[in-house]
Amino acid sequence: MRNLVPGEPSGRLSDAWRFCVGTGRFELALRRDYQDSLALVQRDIGFRHIRGHGLLSDGVGVHRPYEYGGARHVRHSFTYVDQVVDAYLELGIQPFVELGFMPSGLASGEQTVFWWRGNVTPPSSWQEWAELVRATVTHLIDRYGLDQVRRWPIEVWNEPNLKEFWQGADEAAYHRLYEVTARTIKDVDASLQVGGPSISPGSDEWMPRFADFVTARDVPVDFVSRHAYTSGPAQHVPFGVHQTMRPAAELLEQFGTPRRQLRGGPLADLPVHITEFNSSYRPDNPVHDTAFNAAYLAPVLAAGGELVDSFSYWTFSDMFEEVGIPTSIFHGGFGLLTHRQIKKPTYHLYAFMARMGDRLLTRGEDHLVTRDDTGRVTVLAWAPVDVTGGPAVAGHTVRLSIPMAADSAFMLRSSVSEEMGNAWAAWCEMGRPRSPHPRQLDILREAAEPVRRHRNLPVAAGSLDLDLTLDRHEVTLVELTPVADETPPWWDESRILGLGEGAR
């Protein structure tokens, strides 16, 4: 069946998918190779904000208690903060500030998360916590200007509904943390954006209770946030995990949950930010490296902006060390940071989205069609995936009839799949070398590039018929540009070898 594409846009294509992207712990951004990789991401994709953990953890060194004159004092030091934020702004990306984890010198306990030991206990002094928040926000304003910092959402903590991230998953203690933090931020400047509760899937009941709490106590809140993942329990193997996956439609279901829960209440009209999402939250799950992951997430990127104000991919880089220093060149993000920036299929999915037009023509279960103001039509199409583990099938076909005011169109098609633009597949075929030598890295970088094809397609009666047959787990971008033929009247292709009329 051929899908008829409307001639006029139905609206604007949301770019909620590029509002924010996730990253590893804050101080990783001090590394040159991290900044080089982020520069490439910004060139190809162009995110507006970046969010990661550990701004207040010991590795960044903001909170520095000391004793002098027999009394306790605290020095707030922003040397690393300034270096990281400076680098972000130079690359055209702004912080999405996550306040956490607890500095060890302020923590009430010793429970930590990740190998870099982010402390997840409440503060031993609420006053000192408020002073830390005030000093951090005030410093950012002093250095970068109030107008700039007003555009940076400030999120209070990360996944407090999980005992791994907040001691005992103590909801009342989190509410107190949120209230103290939000009031402190608003006391610095009432127009700063603050929100939460940044919950993970599985504790949806936290959201309405959070809404009840801030409403009852008139606590400031400018946005609500949560996370979305569809992976099952971790099945551990040495240096990695495997997980089952639920259908990608469940990600969209999770995206829509906050607005359903808050409908009709005082928080109903607040922005909703999905501050982490992916198939799996584990950096050591190899699913992130596959063509499957790109095809799996394609319908989410195509439709997610209809449900939320942003959804942030977790994470942009393989410098992602939650479970330790990576033991493989493939590790959790959608671009390989330390190995000449070898890209993965999901990276190309985002790069394809960045090349789409901004005027939405139509969206289907396996395709998205847009147009820009030059008349260029862009088609993103993807092969359906099977989360039950059945074999990936080639041959899925998308058939479109596209209005076009020209006699013909130039088609550029860029594709990644199990066989095309897939560095993971090439690495596996090499024997999965743990430390590829330079020539192997060059091959992987070349293998990661999308396969590109082009041709001239006829337009008949104002319509172009486009038939796309997709490879296994393929994501493809088609760009259609009307042709203004400037071929000179004497041009004759058959005479290139000089064998036609007039040859001597």
Residues with catalytic annotation? 159, 276
For 30-43, b/e burial (b = at least 16 CB within 10 A) is eeeebbebbbbbbe
**Where are any strands of DSSP class E within 267-375?**
272-278, 310-313, 359-363, 367-371
Tell me how far apart the alpha carbons of residues 225 and 276 are, in angstroms, rounded to a whole number. 9
| Pairing of the two strands 235-237 and 240-242 | antiparallel
On whether the CB atoms of residues 251 and 228 are closer than 8 A, the answer is yes
- CA dihedral 45→51→53→54, nearest 10 degrees, is 110
CA 474 to chain centre: 20
On whether the CB atoms of residues 312 and 493 are closer than 8 A, the answer is no
4 pairs with which residues across the strands? 401
Rg of the chain's alpha carbons, rounded to an integer?
25
Angle of helix 126-144 versus helix 79-90 axis, rounded to 10: 40
Q: Kindly tell me the sign of the dihedral angle through the C-alpha atoms of 49, 351, 255, 173.
A: negative
- CA dihedral 281→287→288→290, nearest 10 degrees, is -170
The strands making up 396-403's β-sheet, listed across from edge to edge, are 3-4, 396-403, 463-470
Cβ-based neighbour number of residue 110 at 10 Å: 11
Task: Output the CA–CA distances (angstroms, integers) from residue 463 to 4, 202, 290, 370, 484, in the order listed.
Answer: 10, 48, 36, 15, 16
Enumerate residues 6+ apart whose C-beta is below 8 A from 86: none
Q: Which residue matches tokens 């799950």?
A: 285
Cβ-based neighbour number of residue 482 at 10 Å: 17
- From the list 190, 198, 208, the residue with the least C-alpha distance to 120 is 198
236 sits in which H/E element = strand 235-237
Tell me how far apart the alpha carbons of residues 479 and 454 are, in angstroms, rounded to a whole number. 9
Phi/psi-derived region of residue 324, left when phi > 0, alpha when psi is between -120 and 50, beta in every other case: left
